[in-house]
Amino acid sequence: MKNILITGGAGFIGSHVVRLFVQNYPQYHIYNLDVLTYAGNLKNLTDIESASNYTFIKADINDGDLMEEIMVKHAIDGVIHLAAESHVDRSISDPMAFVRTNIIGTVNLLNAARKAWGADMSDKRFYHVSTDEVYGSLDNGGFFTETTSYDPQSPYSASKAGSDHFVRAYHNTYKLPVVISNCSNNYGPNQFPEKLIPLTINNILNNKPLPVYGKGENVRDWLYVVDHARAIDQVFHQGVFGETYNIGGFNEWKNIDIVQLICDIMDKKLGKAEGSSRQLITFVTDRAGHDLRYAIDAQKIMKDLGWQPSLQFEEGIDKTIDWYLANKTWMEEVTSGSYQEYYSQHYS
């Protein structure tokens, strides 16, 4: 039996990782550690919450002593660290929250692992899940590879870059057995509707304007969340210590094209007149320092670990829209309360 600590497991990507590990590895005990910020939701995990190899721990990674206590008490062998503040727009209005959780919280976990594991770390591993945004912004050519220099442009990406540097430094200095992956934009079920795709779906459902920043020309490289969870499984088990793996589906879209695609699919699914949702598209003031383009070269993980995305985007976006249509209560619950306040402040 191995004991695996997954941080941020009640969030969007974390909940898919927790489910995959609980279901695929009955020989592991999965501890899901999450403080349940606005983005954490235990309803993402109701299908596996009573599994005998699953335990939820409500705790804050900003509490370093508590992290060490938890690592020791549960004899943790492996950490998959996803807990983070994850939204660029929020990082622009409150950067300190990102410094605390993303940098200090990560260093707390690194220290806890070092202390709990002592000198013999032969069967241990610390996996840090990061983003392609650490590489900065591309113009219209080229891709981010694992050797691209870090050039973060937003407080979010700067905080993730800082955490990546600390993880590498603990490998270099203390021989902590670490592995890092940097993934492109995820989409799929359970994503909090502050992010572009679920926000667009929710606003179409509520007949509200669809805010597109600037001219909608910015490009993102989208990967279905379950394919990211599958990649995390492979990197955790087969990744070489000290190495970085870029994860992405070679699937670039301009924001305006994605919003229009969602409009057209939803018009069909909702029986609305062709073109009616597109009329909701509203161009709004651009995000400060808005990165133009992200694009991942994922050849290393494909060649070295044999990972491939399983879904084409057209299939993935269709499944995603179906999930939100079938889970309107989930959306209503997460958009009540503080989300309304955030939304009216941000989009006023």
- Mask of contacts with ligand NAD, 51-70, x by CB under 6 A? ---------xxx--------
Task: Note if 294 is an active site residue.
Answer: no
Q: Which is nearer to ligand TYD, 29 or 128 (CB)?
A: 128
Q: E strands of the chain, at which residues?
A: 2-7, 28-34, 54-58, 78-81, 125-131, 178-183, 185-187, 210-213, 219-224, 244-247, 252-254, 281-284
- The yes or no reply on residue 86 touching ligand NAD (CB under 6 A) is yes
Q: Which is nearer to ligand TYD, 41 or 86 (CB)?
A: 86
Task: Note if 132 is an active site residue.
Answer: yes
- Contact set for ligand NAD, span 105-144 (CB under 6 A): 105, 129-131
Q: How many CB atoms lie within 10 A of CB 306?
A: 9
Q: Which is nearer to ligand NAD, 61 or 178 (CB)?
A: 61
- Contact set for ligand TYD, span 179-198 (CB under 6 A): 185, 195-196
- The yes or no reply on residue 249 touching ligand TYD (CB under 6 A) is no
Task: Indicate if the alpha-carbon torsion angle 47, 36, 150, 284 is positive or negative.
Answer: positive
- Which of 133, 146, 233, 297 is the catalytic position? 133
- Mask of contacts with ligand TYD, 75-114, x by CB under 6 A? -------------x--------------------------
The count of residues in the chain is 348
CA dihedral 89, 93, 96, 100 (to 10 degrees): -30
- Are the CB atoms for 33 and 5 separated by under 8 Å? yes
Tell me how far apart the alpha carbons of residues 205 and 270 are, in angstroms, rounded to a whole number.
9
Q: Record the tokens describing residue 22, joined without a space.
A: 């609980």
Tell me how far apart the alpha carbons of residues 198 and 213 are, in angstroms, rounded to a whole number.
15
- The yes or no reply on residue 196 touching ligand NAD (CB under 6 A) is no
Edge-first strand order for the sheet with 2-7 is 54-58, 28-34, 2-7, 78-81, 125-131, 178-183, 244-247
- Which of 31, 127, 135, 156 is the catalytic position? 156
Name the segment binding ligand TYD (CB under 6 A); options: 36-44, 209-217, 226-234, 262-270: 209-217
b/e burial code for range 151-163 (CB count within 10 A of at least 16 → b): ebbbbbbbbbbbb
**Candidate residues 153, 154, 157, 185; the one interacting with ligand NAD per rule CB under 6 A:** 185
Q: What letter represents residue 325's amino acid? A: L
Q: How many CB atoms lie within 10 A of CB 7?
A: 27
Shortest Å, Cβ 54 to ligand TYD: 29
User: With CB cut-offs between 5 and 8 Å by kind, which of ligand TYD, ligand NAD, none does residue 186 bind?
Assistant: ligand NAD
Shortest Å, Cβ 72 to ligand NAD: 18
Q: Which is nearer to ligand TYD, 167 or 295 (CB)?
A: 295
**Candidate residues 91, 190, 255, 320; the one interacting with ligand TYD per rule CB under 6 A:** 255
Binding site for ligand NAD (CB under 6 A): 7-8, 10-14, 34-37, 39-40, 60-62, 82-86, 101, 105, 129-131, 160, 183, 185-186, 192
What residues act catalytically?
132-133, 156
